Amino acid sequence: MGRKKLSTEEKATRNRIYNEKRRKEVAVPVSCPVACWSCLNPETCRLIPGSSPCIIVTKDGRFDLYESLFKCKSCDTTRTATVEDNVAAGYIPGTPKRTNFFVSSDLAEFLYNLKYLTPGTSEQKFIETLSAVSIKAGRVGTINTPLFNKAVKAYDYMNHLVHIKVRHSEKKRCRCCTPFQLCCHVDGNHKLIRRMRNNESLQRSWFGDAIILHDNEFSVLNNQINALKPQKYSLCKKILENPSSTLKYPTAKIITA
């Protein structure tokens, strides 16, 4: 008597149970503190996995790990790794208030250069590619798109700060346009796109006025430009401003043979 042929759902359930038995609790790999925060003894901390699950997205796709805990061998105290500890280890959080979703910095750097060198790259298709890699490796392929997008934007902002405050780069300056630069494009010079959405709450801009001026500064500049323009009023505009004015209009002449 042959074996019973399993359906697709039964195979998936069996594989899931098998993987859960083989699964080991692995913590997010971060660097341990040099000294204990409690007893101040040096080199006594070790890394252990916590109880809260944590998702890490790298070039190899999604990995389901656990939050990192630091445990001291001397005083036996534990401390949860903070967002700063994960960022120092090269993991960008999807939100600064929680430590349950991270994107590796090498993946964010890869996507950063891909967007600049290949305009029109779809971030959604990029996420779907990472999901396909994860599924092929036998892991969960679901990746939270909003959290991934926020982590990538945070890395782009970190790069912006490095260029401005460390390298002292001038984003608006073009070395080819000498001696005077005529214009600067927000997409060509600084891959910056402004979109208006319905029911969107007002929040602080990531890049501030690095490329696009604030509304109040633009209003002042616009008024200065308009003040230098020659004032020309058309006949229709005069009529709208003063309908009761006694203006004489030329009348058409009818020529008869």
Question: Tens digit of pLDDT for each residue in 226-242?
Answer: 888 776 655 565 666 66
Residue 238: closest CA among 247, 226, 249, 251: 247
State the pLDDT at residue 204: 67
Q: Which residue has the tokens 């991934």?
A: 148
Residue 256 predicted with pLDDT over 50: no
Show the tokens assigned to 246: 């006694």
Binning pLDDT at 50, 70 and 90, where does residue 244 land? Answer: low
Show the tokens assigned to 214: 């604030």
State the pLDDT at residue 189: 53
Which is higher by pLDDT, 160 or 91? 91
Residue 31: closest CA among 77, 72, 73, 68: 68
Residue 159 predicted with pLDDT over 80: yes
CB-side exposure of 148: number of CA atoms within 13 Å?
A: 22
State the pLDDT at residue 160: 84
Q: What is the mean pLDDT of residues 69-73?
A: 91
Residue 12: closest CA among 121, 156, 192, 135: 135
State the pLDDT at residue 241: 64
State the pLDDT at residue 23: 57
* Percent of the chain whose pLDDT exceeds 70: 70
Q: 83-107 burial by CB neighbour count: b if 16+ within 10 A, else e? A: bebbbebbbbbbeeeebebbbbbeb
Show the tokens assigned to 10: 């039964």
The DSSP secondary structure of 162-212, one letter per residue, reads: IIIIIS---TT--TTS-S------TTTTT-------TTPPP---SSTTSSS
State the pLDDT at residue 145: 93
Report the chain's mean pLDDT, rounded to a whole number.
79
Binning pLDDT at 50, 70 and 90, where does residue 20 land? Answer: low
Which is higher by pLDDT, 88 or 2? 88
Sign of CA dihedral 9, 11, 12, 18: positive
State the pLDDT at residue 227: 82
State the pLDDT at residue 13: 73
CA 27 distance to own-chain centroid: 25
Supply φ then ψ for residue 27, to 5 degrees: -85, 160
Sheet with 101-104: strands ordered across: 78-80, 61-72, 45-58, 101-104, 91-93
Residue 249 predicted with pLDDT over 50: no
Most confidently predicted of 15-29, 136-150, 181-195, 230-244:
136-150
State the pLDDT at residue 250: 47
Count other Cβ atoms within 10 Å, centred on residue 199: 4
